[in-house]
Amino acid sequence: DQSGRRIAILGTIDGQQGILIAERAAFATETPEALQAFHAAITDVNNLGDNDIYRWYLASSHSAPGSQQPPDLKINLIWPCTESHIKKYSEQVVRMVTETPEIYRDSIRPYMSAKREEGRLNWVFNILEGRTEQEDVILRDKGHDGNEEGGFLVLPDLNWDRKTMGSLHLLALVMRRDIWSLRDLKKKHIPWLKYLRERLLEETVRVYPQLETDQLKLYVHYQPTYYHFHVHIVNVMLEAGATQATGKAFGLENIISQLETLDGDEEAGMADVSLTYFLGEASELWSNVFGPLKRGEKP
């Protein structure tokens, strides 16, 4: 399939057609010994890039060092990681929550502000200000009005291996810093969002001519991993895991349409609507906001 974990082979057995489907087994994690064996089997590690605390690599498993086998592992390293990173990647119960405009104003917006002040956006600003990953930037646009603040740039997402078109995953980072999440989008931003969408589609198929615009999906996360507005560009064939699921990914076209149909003047926007999404019980937003609300307590 598009992510390289499953293959379907058409052939014949005794003169009759058959389909053989092979899928990679899950990682063995039952014992410390199994994890140690996995670590020991990793060879031919090739660094793809790094930025601040994030590093990503291609590597091989179950092969002798220096062999010609193509890499079969994509490895991301977060170091040094924070408690928030540990909670994000820990196994946990997931809950659906509804964030009203009031909850956003009173609890979520202050939380976003606090996170931005912790310096967790350093890696984003490193890219936007030209200090890191400039060799990976595939588009730098000044915006529909030529105003640098309305510009954006596009580069490969760290979860993509940068070669498999079926799992293409790009990231568009906007230059402006007044939009932290989709909650900051207003009716006055519609022309900018439409321009952003058009340019992302045009430039992606220009850089990757084997794709067409109707093979691409644009979406925004809420809650996002970091509070600087960004858009994901993926191949529609990419399997919709948790990061593309309902309650996490909001289609850019749907956001534009919702803004167009909102009542009110140009200042009306996504901060005025209720949003339903999922959270892990280990997350700070569940522990500090939605968990207390469920128990009838004040956050």
CATH number at residue 228: 3.30.428.10
Q: Percent of the chain scored above 70 by pLDDT?
A: 94
Q: Which amino acid is at 128?
A: L
| Same domain? 74 vs 88 | no
In this prediction, residues 88-103 reach a mean pLDDT of 93
Q: Bigger pLDDT: 213 or 84?
A: 213
The pLDDT confidence band at residue 65, using thresholds 50, 70 and 90, is: low
| Same domain? 186 vs 65 | no
Q: Which pLDDT score, from 0 to 100, does residue 64 have? A: 65
| Same domain? 192 vs 225 | yes
The pLDDT confidence band at residue 133, using thresholds 50, 70 and 90, is: confident
Q: Which pLDDT score, from 0 to 100, does residue 3 have? A: 57
In this prediction, residues 147-165 reach a mean pLDDT of 86
| Boundary of a domain, candidates 49, 78, 107 | 78
The count of structural domains within the chain is: 2
Q: Which pLDDT score, from 0 to 100, does residue 278 have? A: 95
Q: Which pLDDT score, from 0 to 100, does residue 100 have? A: 98
Q: If we measure between CA atoms, which residue out of 15, 19, 98, 56 comes closest to residue 277?
A: 98
| Same domain? 154 vs 285 | yes
| Same domain? 159 vs 260 | yes
Say if pTM beats, i.e. exceeds, 0.85. Answer: no
Sign of the Cα torsion 107, 54, 220, 125 reads positive
Q: Is the pLDDT score of 26 beyond 80?
A: no
Q: Is the pLDDT score of 224 beyond 60?
A: yes
Which of 112-116, 213-217, 235-239 bottoms out in mean pLDDT, i.e. has the lowest?
235-239
| Boundary of a domain, candidates 18, 49, 78 | 78
| Boundary of a domain, candidates 46, 63, 78 | 78
In this prediction, residues 270-299 reach a mean pLDDT of 95
Distance CA 172, CA 41 (A): 35
| Same domain? 64 vs 138 | no
| Same domain? 17 vs 100 | no
Flag whether 62 is in a domain: yes
Q: Is the pLDDT score of 51 beyond 80?
A: no
Flag whether 1 is in a domain: no
Q: Which pLDDT score, from 0 to 100, does residue 66 have? A: 62
Q: Which pLDDT score, from 0 to 100, does residue 87 have? A: 84
| Same domain? 197 vs 164 | yes
| Same domain? 45 vs 184 | no
In this prediction, residues 216-245 reach a mean pLDDT of 89
In this prediction, residues 119-145 reach a mean pLDDT of 87
Ramachandran category for residue 166: left, alpha or beta (phi over 0 → left; psi -120 to 50 → alpha)? alpha
| Same domain? 18 vs 146 | no
Flag whether 299 is in a domain: no
Q: If we measure between CA atoms, which residue out of 56, 5, 57 comes closest to residue 26?
A: 5
Q: Which pLDDT score, from 0 to 100, does residue 250 have? A: 96
Question: Residue 140 sits in which domain range?
Answer: 83-294
Q: Which pLDDT score, from 0 to 100, does residue 73 have? A: 84
| Same domain? 74 vs 187 | no
Rg from Cα positions in the chain: 21
Q: Which pLDDT score, from 0 to 100, does residue 209 have? A: 97
Distance CA 185, CA 229 (A): 10
So which residues are the catalytic ones? 230
Q: Which pLDDT score, from 0 to 100, does residue 39 have? A: 82
| Same domain? 229 vs 161 | yes
Average pLDDT over the chain, rounded to an integer: 89
Distance CA 43, CA 256 (A): 46
Distance CA 247, CA 236 (A): 18
